[in-house]
């Protein structure tokens, strides 16, 4: 949940700068090709791609769409969230790492294509991603990551400088990455899903799924029938394979602030300890979004983490005012890769475990699941197989 209760200036910037939605609850008695449960980036992307392929879809959202983890994000769309490729090659081998690299390039391209073909006004902006370190101990790791990323075909540079307004030791630059306003993007997609035999239903809490050739999704507003079901509820609410046993939840903290001097264009990730930066245009000028600090999912006093993040930000930037702050959670699987694909129940799919990287992984989930439903092969089927921990 994106916490909204800290003070009057707190809450997700993305949520505060979009209108409320008002889709109707489910009308019982309907049948569609695919029911998608969950109105975050994973569910809305899957529904969009399936509808574009010609299927009738219904998105069921317990509350209002795009109000949970997806508004807790910092919305950097990047082929790497942090340092991953050296470890991926070590752990899974180069062939698997190459497929994951391809998936991440394709997810970025997919978002760009949807923004362009549907003409979505969501501040989509191409910009580089820099992964940097402030410690000389981190330099060797960045050099290793540079070699791995280059080996996998990424357009990367290793530099001893970057545009940040404070001293760093070295950084790895991925060119042509992107950032956007995630709620503007997803609300625009949702408006296109609803209509012509497809639906977005809000205030409709899914309770269970009855398996069979035709599936029945039971909700607090009645049932809906479908040939396929996609569980995109962040943590799966329907979990015949006990996937939750392989999800490790954590929380991270964000603030939106104004600085006295202009902050450089780009997205920046300090790899350890993790801090990230990006900017977004607002009516009051350029807002700098700083994220960092990590905790258990449930903490008694979140102020400790916000205070630490604010101290960190003030030590690094000339802060004029802190305008927004929020926190949210995400889950990391036991092997660090998302779980995307079919459950042990035929034609019931799941997408979870995005590891604080759901702009890419949530988009990949939509792409993989829509491909599988359409009968296409997916090169990611085995790698992201949700059942891989059960074999």
Ligand X SMILES: Cc1cc2nc3c(=O)[nH]c(=O)nc-3n(C[C@H](O)[C@H](O)[C@H](O)COP(=O)(O)OP(=O)(O)OC[C@H]3O[C@@H](n4cnc5c(N)ncnc54)[C@H](O)[C@@H]3O)c2cc1C
In the Cβ-directed half-sphere of 328, how many Cα atoms lie within 13 Å? 27
Q: Residue 38, interface with ligand X (CB under 6 A)?
A: yes
At closest approach, how far in Å is the CB of 329 from ligand X?
Answer: 6
- Residues contacting residue 232 through CB under 8 Å, at least 6 positions apart: 36, 37, 38, 40, 42, 43, 46, 350, 351, 365
User: In sequence order, what E strands does 241-284 have?
Assistant: 247-259, 267-271, 274-282
Under the criterion CB under 6 A, does residue 370 sit at the interface with ligand X? no
Nearer to ligand X, 22 or 95 (CB): 22
Judged by CB under 6 A, the residue of 330, 367, 372, 373 near ligand X is: 330
Q: Is 258 helix (H, G, I), strand (E, B) or coil?
A: strand
Residues 199-228, interacting with ligand X (CB under 6 A): 205-206
Closest CA to 386 of 213, 171, 232: 232
Residue 17 structure tokens: 């700068």
Examine residue 291 and tell whether it contacts ligand X (CB under 6 A).
yes
Stretch that binds ligand X, among 3-11, 67-75, 110-118, 193-201 (CB under 6 A): 67-75
Q: 92-131 mask for ligand X (x: CB under 6 A)?
A: ----------------------------------------
Which residue from 328, 343, 364, 378 is in contact with ligand X, where contact means CB under 6 A?
A: 328
**22 close to 215: Cβ distance less than 8 angstroms:** no
**CB of 140 vs ligand X, minimal distance in Å:** 26
Q: Which is nearer to ligand X, 237 or 258 (CB)?
A: 237
Q: How far apart are CA 209 and CA 203, in angstroms?
A: 17
Using a 10 angstrom Cβ sphere, with 0-12 exposed, 13-18 middle and 19 or more buried, the burial of residue 227 is middle
Minimum CB separation of residue 206 from ligand X in Å reads 4
Please count the residues of this chain forming the interface with ligand X, following the rule CB under 6 A.
39
Bridge partner residues of 257 (DSSP) = 288, 322
Among 28, 63, 197, 245, binds ligand X (CB under 6 A): 63
In the complex, the smallest distance separating the C-beta of residue 324 from ligand X, rounded to whole angstroms, is 12
By C-alpha distance, which of 147, 163, 14 is closest to 76?
14
Smallest distance from the beta carbon of 64 to ligand X, in angstroms? 8
- In the complex, what is the shortest distance from the CB of residue 3 to ligand X, in angstroms, rounded to a whole number? 11
Q: From the CB of 355, what's the least distance to ligand X, in Å?
A: 7
Closest Cα partner for 360 from 104, 139, 181? 104
Give the C-alpha separation, 47 to 380, whole Å.
Answer: 19
Which tokens sit at 328? 């949210």
Where does this chain touch ligand X (CB under 6 A) — which range of 17-25, 62-70, 160-168, 279-287?
62-70
Question: What number of other Cβ atoms are within 10 A of residue 63's Cβ?
Answer: 11
Stretch that binds ligand X, among 26-34, 71-79, 92-100, 141-149 (CB under 6 A): 71-79
In whole angstroms, the minimum distance from the beta carbon of 137 to ligand X comes to: 25
Cα–Cα distance list, 362 to 77, 122, 284, 320, 339 (Å): 11, 17, 31, 34, 10
Asked if residue 14 binds ligand X (CB under 6 A), the reply is no
Residues 231-290 that bind ligand X (CB under 6 A): 232-234, 237, 252, 254
CB of 68 to ligand X, least distance (A): 3
Residues 6 or more apart in contact with residue 16 via CB below 8 angstroms: 324
* Phi, then psi, of 193 in degrees rounded to 5: -70, -45
Q: Which is nearer to ligand X, 185 or 354 (CB)?
A: 354
Q: Does 62 bind ligand X (CB under 6 A)?
A: yes
- Applying CB under 6 A, among 72, 128, 266, 386 the residue interacting with ligand X is 72
Query: Closer CB to ligand X, residue 139 or residue 297?
Result: 297
Residues 124, 146, 180, 356: which binds ligand X (CB under 6 A)? 356
Cα–Cα distance, 211 to 227 (Å, whole number): 10
Interface residues toward ligand X, by CB under 6 A: 37-43, 60-63, 67-70, 72-76, 205-206, 232-234, 237, 252, 254, 291, 328-330, 354, 356-360, 362
């Amino acid at each position: 949940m994106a916490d909204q209760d800290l003070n009057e200036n707190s809450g997700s910037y993305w949520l505060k700068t979009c209108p409320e939605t008002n889709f109707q609850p489910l009308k019982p008695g309907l049948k569609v090709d695919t029911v998608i449960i969950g109105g975050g980036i994973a569910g809305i992307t899957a529904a969009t791609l399936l509808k574009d392929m010609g299927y009738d879809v219904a998105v069921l959202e317990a509350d209002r769409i795009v109000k949970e983890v997806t508004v807790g994000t910092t919305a950097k769309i990047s082929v790497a969230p942090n340092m991953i490729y050296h470890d991926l090659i070590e752990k899974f081998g180069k062939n698997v790492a190459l497929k994951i690299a391809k998936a991440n390039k394709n997810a970025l391209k997919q978002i760009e294509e949807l923004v362009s073909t549907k003409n979505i006004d969501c501040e989509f902006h191409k910009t580089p991603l820099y992964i940097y370190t402030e410690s000389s101990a981190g330099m060797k790791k960045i050099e290793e990551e540079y070699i791995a990323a280059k080996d996998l075909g990424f357009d990367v540079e290793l530099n001893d400088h970057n545009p940040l307004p404070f001293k760093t030791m070295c950084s790895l630059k991925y060119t042509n990455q992107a950032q956007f306003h995630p709620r503007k993007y997803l609300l625009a997609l949702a408006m296109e899903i609803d209509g012509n035999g497809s639906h977005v239903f809000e205030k409709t809490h899914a309770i269970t799924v009855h398996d069979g050739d035709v599936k029945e999704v039971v909700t607090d507003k009645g049932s809906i029938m479908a040939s396929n079901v996609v569980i995109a509820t962040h943590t799966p609410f329907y979990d015949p394979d006990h996937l939750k046993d392989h999800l490790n939840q954590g929380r991270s903290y964000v603030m939106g602030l104004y600085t006295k001097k202009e902050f450089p264009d780009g997205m920046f990730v300090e790899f350890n300890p993790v801090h990230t930066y990006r900017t977004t245009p607002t009516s009051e000028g350029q807002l700098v979004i700083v994220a960092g600090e990590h905790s258990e999912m449930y903490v008694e006093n979140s102020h400790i983490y916000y205070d630490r993040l604010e101290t960190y930000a003030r030590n690094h930037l000339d802060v004029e005012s802190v305008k927004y702050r929020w926190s949210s959670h995400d889950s990391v699987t036991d092997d660090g890769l998302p779980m995307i694909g079919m459950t042990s129940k035929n034609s019931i799919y799941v997408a979870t475990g995005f590891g604080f990287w759901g702009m890419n992984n949530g988009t990949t989930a939509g792409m993989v699941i829509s491909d599988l439903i359409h009968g296409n092969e997916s090169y990611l089927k085995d790698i992201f197989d949700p059942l891989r921990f059960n074999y």
